Amino acid sequence: MDLKRRQPIGVELVKRGVVTETDIQKALDYQREHPDMRLGDILYEIDACDPSYLIKNIGEILGEKGILLRGNTVKINLTDYISLDIAKKNQAVPFEVENGKIKVCFSNTSNERSMNAVRLLLLNKGLIMETYITFKKDIEQYLRSLEGDVIEETTSTGNENITITELVDTIIKTGMKRRASDIHIEPLQNEVRIRYRIDGDLYTAFRVQKDKQSQLIGRLKAISNMHQEKQEAQDGRILMYDDYNIRVSSQPNVCGEKFVLRLLKKDADIRSIFELGYPGDEASVRKSFNKRNSITIIAAPTGEGKTTTLYSIIDYLNKPEINITTIEDPVEIRINGLNQIEIGPKATFSGSLRTVLRQDPDIILVGEIRDFETAEIAIQAGQTGHYVLSTIHTIDSIEVINRLRKMGISNYDIASILATSVSQRLVRRLCPKCKKEREFTKEEKEIITKIMKKYNEEIDLENIKTYDAIGCKYCDNTGYYSRIGVFEILDITDNLKEAIVRGEASTDIRKIALEEGYRPLIVDGIRKVLDGITTLDELNKKLLFY
Between CA 248 and CA 361 the distance in angstroms is 32
Spell 425-463 as b/e; 16+ CB within 10 A means b: bbbbbbbeebbeeeebeeebbebbeebbeeeeeeeebee
360 or 161: which carries more pLDDT confidence? 360
If asked whether residues 497 and 361 sit together in one domain, one would say yes
Task: Answer whether residue 30 is part of any domain.
Answer: yes
Confidence at residue 161, expressed as pLDDT on a 0 to 100 scale: 54
- Residue 355 makes CB contacts below 8 A (sequence gap 6+) with none
Greatest distance between any 2 Cα atoms in the chain? 85
Q: Are residues 48 and 126 in the same domain?
A: yes
Question: Minimal CA–CA distance to 79: which of 150, 135, 178?
Answer: 150
- Residues 231 and 377 grouped into a single domain: no
Check whether 153 has a pLDDT greater than 50.
no
Q: Does residue 6 have a pLDDT over 70?
A: no
CATH number of the domain bearing residue 402: 3.40.50.300
Residue 183 has pLDDT above 70, yes or no: yes
Q: Give the strand pairing for 128-133 and 101-106.
A: parallel
Q: Are residues 55 and 86 in the same domain?
A: yes
Q: Is the pLDDT of residue 158 over 70?
A: no
Classify residue 181: in a domain, yes or no: yes
- Examine the domain organization and report whether 315 and 390 are in the same domain: yes
Which tens digit of pLDDT belongs to each residue from 208-261?
Answer: 989 899 999 999 999 999 998 778 899 999 988 888 889 999 999 999 999 999
pLDDT-based confidence at residue 157 (cuts at 50, 70, 90): very low
| Domain of 80, in residue numbers | 6-136
Regarding whether 261 and 304 lie in a shared domain, the answer is no
Q: Is 537 part of a structural domain of the chain?
A: no
Identify whether residues 373 and 492 lie together within a single domain. Answer: yes
Q: Is the pTM of this model over 0.75?
A: no
Candidate ranges 7-16, 367-376, 406-415; pick with highest mean pLDDT:
406-415
pLDDT band at 283 (very low <50, low <70, confident <90, very high): confident
Do the domain assignments include residue 364? yes
Least confident of 76-90, 179-193, 439-453, 507-521: 76-90
- The reply to whether 377 falls in a domain is yes
Share of the chain above pLDDT 90, in %: 47
Number of domains present in the structure of the chain: 3
pLDDT for 448 equals 95
What's the whole-number mean pLDDT along residues 1-26? 76
Q: pLDDT for 352-364, tens place per residue?
A: 888 888 888 999 9
User: Does 26 map to a domain?
Assistant: yes
Interior/surface letters 233-247, b for 16+ CB within 10 angstroms, e for the rest: ebebbbeeeeebbbb
Per-residue model confidence as pLDDT tens digits over 441-492: 999 999 999 999 999 998 888 889 999 888 877 887 788 999 999 999 999 9
Are the beta carbons of 499 and 489 closer than 8 angstroms?
Answer: no
Residues 374 and 293 in one domain: yes
pLDDT for the residue numbered 228: 85
pLDDT score at 147: 60
Which of 27-31, 291-295, 328-332, 358-362 shows the lowest per-residue confidence on average (mean pLDDT)? 328-332
Mean of per-residue pLDDT scores for the chain? 88
Is 408 among the domain residues? yes
CATH of the domain at 216: 3.30.450.90
pLDDT of residue 91: 92
pLDDT at 482: 92
CATH number of the domain at 110, please: 3.30.300.160
- Reported as a single tens digit per residue, the pLDDT across 61-93 is 988 999 999 877 888 888 788 877 788 889 999
Residues 47 and 173 placed together within one structural domain of the fold: no
Q: How far apart are CA 261 and CA 5, in angstroms?
A: 53
Quick one: pLDDT at residue 149?
38
Note every long-range contact of 512-519, with CB atoms under 8 Å and residues 24 or more positions apart, other chains counting.
513/398, 514/455, 517/491, 518/397, 518/488, 518/489, 518/490, 518/491, 519/455, 519/457, 519/488
Q: Is residue 240 part of a domain?
A: yes
Following DSSP, what letter does each residue of 339-380 receive, concatenated?
EEEE-BTTB-HHHHHHHHTTS--SEEEES---SHHHHHHHHH
From 238, 265, 292, the end of a domain falls on 265
Please indicate whether residue 474 or residue 324 has the higher confidence score (pLDDT).
324
